[in-house]
Amino acid sequence: MRTQVGIVGAGPAGLMLSHMLHLEGIDSVIVERAGQEHVRTRLRAGVLEQGTVEMLRGLGLGGRFGRLGLEQHAIDFRFAGESHRIDFHAASGGRSAWVYPQHELVTDLMDARVAAGACMFFEAPVTRLEGVRDGNAVIHFEHDGAPQRLECDYIAGCDGFRGVCRDAIPADEVKVYDRVYPFGWLGILADAPAPTSEITWGCHEDGFAMLSIRSPSVTRLYLQCAPDEEPEAWSDDRIWSELHKRLDVPDMPPVNEGRISQKGVTAMRSFLAEPMQYGRLFLAGDAAHIVPPTGAKGLNSAMADVQVLGRALVEHYKRGAGTWLASYSAICLKRMWLVQRFSAGLCTMVHQFPGDNAFVRRLQRADLEYMTGTVAGRLQFAENFTGLPIGA
């Protein structure tokens, strides 16, 4: 079996790349270890930045998004018992973010690939890559109980943090930057409408909390917890009590309670592997980088990588030029380090770290006051939250 671009992973990065290439008449094959239904229904991110939305609309994927996506203009930061809004729409000169659950985006992408008759293998774990350096790239995978091989011109490693593609780069050719945080997020889905129309952060001395939105009747709420917390250790009563303590302030409607339909703990990590390319292999999305979900940058960074990689492959196949392919990693890393800076900075600003003394906690409060209370602070947050330029 042979294709122009072999894609490992059918998450948002792999599906989006395959869709982009298809629109330009470039052949790709996706190899995914999980089942299609599992991929479609995994609950993850929830916020799209302006650049991702422009990408969806530009690639003919704005239909369902246009009906279900909820445009956001501001975030309400709660600290010192008060509400401190950042209107990032005004501060950024009219840029927005949208609430649109990742599984809805994956559904849109998967439906588009199925409708186009894409070649996709599910329940097909990739076991190893071969020949990425010498130009005879091969993806080895298993499917229907038999070993398979896919020969490719190029391989896109879109297989997430725990995939196999990053390890295809020799250890002495890759530099890893890693930071694991001493806390996690207990995330719940609740059948309860948001009390206001805005994402709300609780920067409380007992720990961080967030209220986000998934639909007019469903809210996504997070509580800072121990990194190895068992979700079952949190009763519904304990969850709602902590959410009210960390999010409610006088003069604003309190958090609405409702049936909790999903409960899980997400660990927090900042991770980046350099370079993001090696020979015929190109890493995109979580295969190359992880950010704490604080800044809502995981999914959006995957889309930004794919926008650059898709453009580079189209330039190569359609115009015979290799400039973008040669500089793919440099272009993505320049932007990704700024995304790492924003995500890690926010994470450090709003969470309570074990062992921090009163001075550090007062510095956190000063950072929040500067970010929400000054023109420069609001502009910096707005530029980053609505999305940095891609491919600059």
> What residues line the site for ligand PHB (CB under 6 A)?
45-47, 199, 212, 220, 293-296
List the single partner that 159 binds among ligand FAS, ligand PHB, none, CB under 5 to 8 Å by kind: ligand FAS
Q: Which of 76, 47, 88, 86 is nearest to 213 (CA)?
A: 47
Which of 202, 292, 298, 387 forms a contact with ligand FAS (CB under 6 A)? Answer: 298
Answer with the entry of ligand FAS, ligand PHB, none that 51 interacts with (C-beta below 5 to 8 A by kind).
Answer: none
Q: State the Cα torsion 12-310-178-246 to the nearest 10°.
A: -40
Site for ligand FAS contains 310 (CB under 6 A): no
Residue number with CB closer to ligand FAS (8 or 349): 8
List the interface residues with ligand FAS, window 21-60 (CB under 6 A): 31-34, 39, 44-46
Nearer to ligand PHB, 294 or 307 (CB): 294
Q: Please provide the distance, in angstroms rounded to a whole number, between the alpha carbons at the two ends of the chain.
A: 36
Cα–Cα distance between 189 and 193 in angstroms, integer? 11
Rank residues 169 and 346 by Cβ distance to ligand PHB and give the closer one.
346
Query: Is 156 a binder of ligand FAS (CB under 6 A)?
Result: no
Q: How far is the CB of 385 from ligand FAS (least distance, A)?
A: 11
Minimum distance from residue 168 beta carbon to ligand FAS (Å):
11
Name the minimum Å distance from CB 373 to ligand FAS. 26
Residue 126 binding ligand FAS, by CB under 6 A: yes
Residue 10 touches which member of ligand FAS, ligand PHB, none, C-beta under 5-8 Å by kind: ligand FAS
Q: How far is the CB of 133 from ligand FAS (least distance, A)?
A: 20
Residue 224 interacts with which of ligand FAS, ligand PHB, none, CB < 5 to 8 Å by class:
none
Q: Give 266 or 327: the residue with its C-beta nearer to ligand PHB.
A: 266
- Cα–Cα distance measured from residue 16 to residue 215, given in angstroms and rounded to the nearest whole number: 23
Question: What distance in Å separates the CA atoms of residue 11 and residue 45, rounded to the nearest whole number?
Answer: 12
Q: Which of 1, 21, 7 is nearest to 310 (CA)?
A: 21
Among 13, 91, 189, 211, contact with ligand FAS (rule: CB under 6 A): 13
Residue labelled with tokens 């007019």? 216
- If the CB atoms of residues 9 and 46 are measured against ligand PHB, the closer one turns out to be 46
Q: Which is nearer to ligand FAS, 102 or 219 (CB)?
A: 102
Q: Examine residue 275 and say whether the peptide bond preceding it is cis (omega within 30 degrees of 0).
A: yes
Among the residue ranges 7-15, 66-74, 332-340, 381-389, the one whose residues contact ligand FAS (CB under 6 A): 7-15
Residues 72, 92, 102, 372: which binds ligand FAS (CB under 6 A)? 102
- Closer CB to ligand PHB, 160 or 295, in the complex: 295
Closest to 269 in 3D by CA, of 163, 180, 160: 180
- Cβ 297 to ligand PHB, closest distance in Å? 8
Residues 221-280 that bind ligand FAS (CB under 6 A): 266
Shortest spacing between CB 88 and ligand PHB, in angstroms: 11
In the complex, the smallest distance separating the C-beta of residue 44 from ligand PHB, rounded to whole angstroms, is: 8
Residue 299 interacts with ligand FAS (CB under 6 A)? yes
Could you list the residues that contact ligand FAS (CB under 6 A)?
8-14, 31-34, 39, 44-46, 102, 125-126, 158-160, 163-164, 266, 285-286, 293, 296-299, 302
